[in-house]
Amino acid sequence: MGVHAVFLVGFMASGKSSVGTALARRLGWDFLDLDARIESRERKTVPEIFRESGEAGFRLAETAALRELLTGALQRDSVVALGGGAFAQERNRQLLREWPSVFLEAPVAELWRRSLTDGIQRPLRQDPEQFARLYAERLPFYREANVVVDTTNKALASICAEIELALRLCGVHDAARSAADETPLETGESK
Ligand code: S3P
């Protein structure tokens, strides 16, 4: 059977990394962050890429990293967090059309607040008005994801449970858990 993957999409500070890490842990899958892969392929940080090559250069690097992931680099079941602009690019949505995608939705004022405190440098975050404008431009694209989860006031565990239910990943989770539970029993029986 092929590799499983879930792609988390959403605006800056929408919790893609926190939800991705928690979901991957629950499923026993790997967690991958596309921005981290871009940085290691380019040997530069995201702000450096923006400074040296502009947004257009960053988008090329982003698509190259995504294409590499989908054409061989994805070797184990994984939850993948995309950067906030990735799913707004038509070519990336095309690359992802066979894969399940989940949009983590939250009010833009809340995203702005979180983006001020999470310590991440974001070249495309300037002021609340620009941030809200960019969010509104991208929203129709985010809504093309297979699953939309409203994350407002929800704990990580309940967001993960919603995603598992919507994508019918409960079976994967339960199978992994029950397989682990059965291992000592089988060992015992064969003695
Ligand atoms: C971007 C979001 C960032 C990163 C880059 C561009 C965007 O990722 O990919 O700064 O265009 O919204 P996060 O969404 O993880 O902040």
Q: Cβ distance 151 to 159 under 8 Å?
A: yes
pLDDT digit of tens for each residue in the chain (191 aa)? 588 999 999 999 999 999 999 999 999 999 999 999 999 999 999 999 999 999 999 999 999 999 999 998 899 999 999 999 999 999 999 999 999 999 999 999 999 999 999 888 899 999 999 999 999 999 999 999 999 999 999 999 999 999 999 999 975 555 454 444 344 433 333 32
- What is the per-residue pLDDT for 172? 56
CB atoms within 10 A of CB 128: 14
Q: Which of 9, 7, 22, 5 is nearest to 154 (CA)?
A: 22
Assigned token pair, 130? 């620009």
Is 41 within 8 Å of 68 (Cβ atoms)?
A: yes
Predicted TM-score (pTM) of the model is 0.89
Pocket test for ligand 1, best of 7, 11, 12 (most atoms within 8 A of CB): 12
Model pLDDT, residue 171: 56
What spacing in Å lies between the alpha carbon of 155 and ligand 1's midpoint?
23
Residue 105 to residue 13: CA distance in whole angstroms: 10
Distance 44 CA to ligand 1 centre (A): 15
65 Cβ closer than 6 Å to some ligand 1 atom: no
pLDDT at 122: 92
E strands within 13-146?
A: 30-33, 78-81, 101-105
Q: Which of 9, 35, 62 to mutate to test the pocket of ligand 1 (most atoms within 8 A of CB)?
A: 35
What pLDDT score was predicted for residue 2?
A: 82
* 33 touches ligand 1 (CB under 6 Å): no
Mode of pairing for the β-strands spanning 30-33 and 147-150:
unpaired
Strand residues in the chain grouped as ranges (E): 5-9, 30-33, 78-81, 101-105, 147-150
- The pLDDT value given to residue 118: 86
